[in-house]
C-alpha cells in the first residue's frame, strides 16, 4: 500500500522563508548600523554568547534588538547561550609549542598554570586524571592535536602524540567517545542564568548536558522568575546521543535542542556526525520540539563575502532535513561580512525550501493524538496541504503551542501565530514556518474576532481576495491548551 504524503497546493504568493536564522551578536554586529541591517536581512533569533562579554554588554545588545524589532514591527527572539564547563589546558611559559608524531607529552594537573613547556602543561580541570585511563584518546584544540594516553600517575597523564601540530594557551580538551564528568552547569553558568532572567531572554541554551537531569537542574535554577524562558539543550557530548533513550529524554526535558557540531563532532568523530545530525532533527520534530543546526555553517564568510559551495550544500541539507533554524556564530559576531552572511543564508534557505521534499510530510500520520489542540493543529495542516486555494494557516494562540505543533508538518504554506503575549510572539520566532503577529482580542466582541484576524492577514499582504485561510482557535481566548476549533475562510474583501 502506497504511503500517503501531504503536499501543498501551488501558491502564487511571494514565498516566505520558513527556516529561521539565528545570529550571534558581538563586536562585528556592534558596528554602526550593522545590527539593524542584519535584522532587516532576516535574523529571527539573536544569540547572546555568555562565554564572552559582561552582563552590561548583553543587556545593551538585547535592548538594541528590541528597539530595532519594534521599529520594524518584527518579533525577534533572544537566546542566551551558557558557557558550560570549559575543559582546557593551561598556559605555556614561552608561547606556543610544536608537537610532532611520537613525542611524549604530559598533562600535569598539579603544574603551575603558567609553567607549560615542550614536555608538559597544566590543566584547569582538576579531575581529568580520574576520568581517563590508558588507551583513551584525548583531542586538543578541536582535534587539531591528538594524544593517546599511555598511563596515569597521580596528577600526571602521560601521553603519546598521534597527530602533531601547534599547541597554544587555553585550548580545549575532549575525550573521544565522551566520559568526562564535568557538570553541565558551572558556578559561572548559575550567575549567567540570573543575568538571562534579568535582561529578559526568551531562550537559554545549556551547554554539554549529559542527561535529562542536567536540563531539569537548569529548570529548577530558573525557578518561577524564569518560568517563561525556554530551555535549549546543546547536544555536544557523546553520552547525550549514545542511545535513543538518553537523547529522547533530553529532548523532552527541553523546549528546543541544538545540534552543536563542534564539540559533538570531536567526541563522536566526523564520520558519525552526519547521521547523528539527521537523527537529532528527526527525533526533535517527532517529539514536537524545535531544533537548531549550528557550527561552521558559513565559516568562510568570516573573511569572504561569498560562501563556499560546500557551505551552501550544508545549509541546504539541514533545511531539507527540516531543521527549524540554522545558526551563525563567528560569522556575525566577529566576521567581516555579517550582513552579507545573513543575506546569503536566507537565499540558500529559500532555495532549498523550493524543493518538493521540503514541502511534504508523513509526520505522525499513523499515530493517535492525545489532546484536542494537538488534533486541531495537525488536522489544520492536513486540510491546508490538501485543499486547493489555501494560502495560510492562522492560529490564535496564548502560548505558541498550536503553531509549534502545526510547524512539525512540512508545508510550503505560512503558519501565522496570532498572540497577544509578546513573550509568546518571540518564542514563535524560532519555529519553522511560523510568522508571529500581535493580536489582542481583549477589546473585541466574540462575533468579530474571526473577521479581525482575516483583516490582519490582508493588512500584512498574506492573503488576497478569493484566497482561503485555515483558522484555529479556542472558545476562550488566551487560555493555554484551549484550541478546539478549525474553520475555513474565503477572503471576501
The residue from 37, 66, 88, 91 that is catalytic is 88
Reading phi first (left if > 0) and then psi (alpha if -120 to 50, else beta), residue 343 is in: alpha
Q: Is 234 a catalytic residue?
A: yes
User: 437-453: b or e for each residue (b if 16 or more CB lie within 10 Å)?
Assistant: bebebeeeeeeebbeeb
The residue from 24, 159, 295, 399 that is catalytic is 295
Dihedral sign for Cα atoms in the order 123, 125, 129, 131? negative
Nearest 5°: the CA angle 17, 289, 356 is 40
> Which long-range contacts does 378-382 make (Cβ < 8 Å, 24+ apart)?
378/405, 378/406, 378/408, 378/409, 379/486, 380/406, 380/470, 380/472, 380/486, 381/6, 381/406, 381/409, 381/411, 382/6, 382/409
The residue from 20, 47, 61, 289 that is catalytic is 47
Nearest 5°: the CA angle 178, 184, 188 is 135
Q: Rounded to an integer, what distance in angstroms lies between the CA atom of residue 64 and that of residue 70?
A: 10
The residue from 61, 175, 210, 234 that is catalytic is 234
Reading phi first (left if > 0) and then psi (alpha if -120 to 50, else beta), residue 417 is in: beta
Q: Is 47 a catalytic residue?
A: yes
Count of residues making up the chain:
493
The Cα-based distances of 361 to 3, 385, 386 in angstroms read: 11, 10, 12
Residue 410, CB-side half-sphere exposure with 13 Å CA sphere: 23
Give the active site residues.
47, 88, 234, 295
Amino acid at each position: 500500500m502506497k504511503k500517503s504524503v501531504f503536499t501543498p497546493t501551488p501558491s502564487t504568493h511571494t514565498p516566505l522563508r520558513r527556516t529561521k536564522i539565528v545570529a550571534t551578536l558581538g563586536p562585528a554586529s556592534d558596528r554602526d548600523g550593522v545590527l539593524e541591517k542584519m535584522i532587516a536581512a532576516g535574523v529571527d533569533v539573536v544569540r547572546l554568547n555568555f562565554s564572552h562579554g559582561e552582563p552590561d554588554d548583553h543587556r545593551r545588545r538585547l535592548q538594541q534588538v528590541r528597539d530595532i524589532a519594534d521599529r520594524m514591527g518584527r518579533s525577534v527572539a533572544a537566546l542566551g547561550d551558557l558557557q558550560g564547563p570549559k575543559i582546557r589546558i593551561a598556559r605555556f611559559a614561552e608561547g606556543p609549542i610544536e608537537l610532532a608524531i611520537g613525542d611524549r607529552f604530559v598533562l600535569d594537573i598539579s603544574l603551575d598554570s603558567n609553567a607549560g613547556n615542550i614536555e608538559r602543561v597544566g590543566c584547569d580541570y582538576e579531575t581529568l586524571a580520574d576520568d581517563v585511563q590508558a588507551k583513551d584518546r584525548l583531542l586538543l584544540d578541536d582535534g587539531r592535536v591528538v594524544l593517546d594516553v599511555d598511563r596515569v600517575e597521580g596528577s600526571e597523564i602521560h601521553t603519546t602524540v598521534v597527530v602533531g601540530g601547534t599547541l597554544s594557551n587555553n585550548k580545549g580538551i575532549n575525550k573521544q567517545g565522551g566520559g568526562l564528568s564535568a557538570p553541565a552547569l558551572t558556578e559561572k553558568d548559575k550567575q549567567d542564568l540570573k543575568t538571562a532572567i534579568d535582561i529578559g531572554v526568551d531562550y537559554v541554551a545549556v551547554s554539554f548536558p549529559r542527561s535529562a537531569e542536567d536540563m531539569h537542574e537548569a529548570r529548577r535554577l530558573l525557578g518561577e522568575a524564569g518560568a517563561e524562558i525556554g530551555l535549549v539543550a546543546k547536544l555536544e557530548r557523546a553520552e547525550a546521543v549514545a542511545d535513543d533513550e538518553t537523547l529522547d529524554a533530553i529532548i523532552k526535558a527541553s523546549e528546543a535542542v541544538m545540534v552543536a557540531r563542534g564539540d559533538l563532532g570531536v567526541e563522536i568523530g566526523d564520520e558519525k556526525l552526519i547521521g547523528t545530525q539527521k537523527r537529532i532533527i528527526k527525533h526533535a520534530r517527532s517529539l514536537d520540539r524545535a531544533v537548531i543546526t549550528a557550527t561552521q555553517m558559513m565559516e568562510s564568510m568570516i573573511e569572504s563575502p561569498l560562501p563556499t559551495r560546500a557551505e551552501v550544500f550544508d545549509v541546504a541539507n539541514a533545511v531539507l532535513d527540516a531543521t527549524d533554524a540554522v545558526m551563525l556564530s563567528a560569522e556575525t559576531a566577529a566576521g567581516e561580512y555579517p550582513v552579507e552572511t545573513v543575506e546569503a543564508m536566507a537565499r540558500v534557505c529559500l532555495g532549498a525550501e523550493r524543493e518538493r521534499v521540503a514541502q511534504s510530510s508523513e509526520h505522525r500520520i499513523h499515530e493517535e493524538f492525545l489532546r484536542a489542540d494537538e488534533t486541531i493543529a495537525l488536522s489544520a495542516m492536513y486540510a491546508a496541504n490538501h485543499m486547493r486555494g489555501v494560502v495560510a494557516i492562522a492560529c490564535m494562540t496564548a502560548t505558541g503551542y498550536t503553531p509549534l505543533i502545526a510547524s512539525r508538518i512540512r508545508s510550503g504554506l505560512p503558519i501565522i501565530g496570532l498572540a497577544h503575549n509578546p513573550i509568546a510572539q518571540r518564542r514563535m520566532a524560532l519555529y519553522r514556518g511560523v510568522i508571529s503577529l500581535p493580536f489582542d482580542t481583549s477589546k473585541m466582541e466574540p462575533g468579530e474576532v474571526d473577521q479581525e484576524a482575516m483583516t490582519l492577514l490582508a493588512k500584512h499582504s498574506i492573503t488576497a481576495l478569493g484566497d482561503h485561510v485555515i483558522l484555529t482557535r479556542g472558545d476562550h481566548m488566551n487560555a493555554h491548551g484551549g484550541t478546539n476549533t478549525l474553520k475555513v475562510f474565503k477572503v471576501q474583501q
